[in-house]
Structure 1
Amino acid sequence: MRKFSLLDHELIPKHEIMSEEELKAVLKIYNIGKEQLPKVKVEDPVVQEIGAQVGEVVRITRKSQTAGEAFYYRLVIA
């Protein structure tokens, strides 16, 4: 039997853990610190599914009618 994946659902956008290099570039673009990013709890079902740990940053890619794709960033907290 195949395990159900939240990421397979059409309403759940793509989530991925960012590398340190990618994160540094994003923080530089927005001129902010990591702690200034919006937060998401480590208990979030999608965060658990992708295996993100406290302190990592998750990039969420959503479809946008105007931009094509829009990126959102969340810092994983306890």
Structure 2
Amino acid sequence: MKTNLDISKHILIPLHTKLNEKEKEILLQKYNASTGNLPRISEKDKSIENLKVKEGDIIKITRKSQTAGTAYFYRVVVND
């Protein structure tokens, strides 16, 4: 019997959220960057499968850090 496991709820998977268009614009302006400058994440990645993403969306990854408290990482969704 196959069970559906929501990997995004696993304790070792950091929080993944999709930025809206306004947040995306603010992020790119803040770092004077384009989506081509960001690291990539596949739209098939299991950690974002419930976010209904499309190519070009930006994912914010929130991780707990011993030194920084909370650390944020950004990835652009690619279709591969």
Would the TM-score normalized by the shorter structure come out above 0.5?
yes
Coordinate RMSD, CA, aligned: 1.5
**Structure holding more helix per residue:** 1
2 CA distance for matches of 1:65 and 1:34? 29
The aligned counterpart of 1:69 is: 70
State the TM-score, normalized to the length of structure 2.
Answer: 0.86
Structure 2 portions without partners, runs of 5+: none
Q: Which amino acid aligns with 1:13?
A: P
1 CA distance for matches of 2:39 and 2:71? 15
Deviation at 1:30, TM superposition (A): 1.0
Deviation at 1:67, TM superposition (A): 1.4
The aligned counterpart of 1:21 is: 22
- Give the number of aligned pairs: 77
State the TM-score, normalized to the length of structure 1.
Answer: 0.88
Deviation at 1:26, TM superposition (A): 1.2
Q: Which amino acid aligns with 2:68?
A: A
